């Protein structure tokens, strides 16, 4: 996806179970919803959100998408979302308060990053990180 200013960036698509009606976790975590298209029964088809300008989508699992699974039915992690932020500890606390489960507490690593990891209510793993100034 190319933005208005011509830069290129990733916009991951996180698959959620069919018949999901509530993605409030993401809003409670601080995401801003750009749009949300719902199915006739009111369940979510696709929503576009952003966290401080980092765009991502949540999308119901589609039968025609070969091999696409969400973490619950896949019985495991399908991808890890890396989110670079100014304050790892603050963002981790916000995620836990919103309903995430901590996987790894934030800590500094020898390769120059401070990182922590959480699992969101849909089973997606998020690695919250920042490069430590040397």
pLDDT per residue as tens digits for the range 46-104: 999 999 989 999 999 876 655 667 777 777 777 789 999 999 999 999 999 999 999 99
User: What value, to the nearest 5°, has the Cα angle with vertex 103 and ends 13 and 70?
Assistant: 30
**Side-chain-side CA neighbours of residue 128 (13 Å):** 26
Mean pLDDT over 113-133 rounds to 94
At the second CATH level, the architecture of 13-131 is Roll (3.10)
Question: Model pTM?
Answer: 0.81
β-pairing, 44-51 vs 32-38, is antiparallel
Mean pLDDT of the chain: 88
| Rg of the chain over all Cα atoms, to the nearest angstrom | 15
CA dihedral over 84, 86, 89, 93, signed as positive or negative: negative
Mean pLDDT over 101-124 rounds to 95
């Amino acid at each position: 996806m190319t933005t208005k200013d011509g830069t290129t960036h990733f916009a991951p698509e996180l698959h959620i179970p069919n018949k999901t009606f509530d993605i409030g976790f993401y809003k409670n975590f601080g995401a801003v919803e750009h749009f949300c298209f719902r199915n006739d029964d009111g369940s979510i088809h696709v929503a576009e959100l952003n966290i401080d300008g980092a765009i991502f989508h949540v999308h119901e699992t589609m039968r025609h998408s070969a091999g696409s699974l969400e973490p619950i039915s896949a019985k495991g992690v399908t991808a890890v979302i890396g989110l670079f932020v100014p304050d790892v500890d603050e963002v981790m606390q916000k995620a836990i308060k919103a309903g995430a489960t901590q996987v790894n507490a934030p800590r500094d690593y020898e390769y120059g990053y401070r990182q922590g990891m959480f699992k969101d209510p849909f089973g997606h793993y998020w690695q919250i990180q920042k490069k430590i100034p040397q």
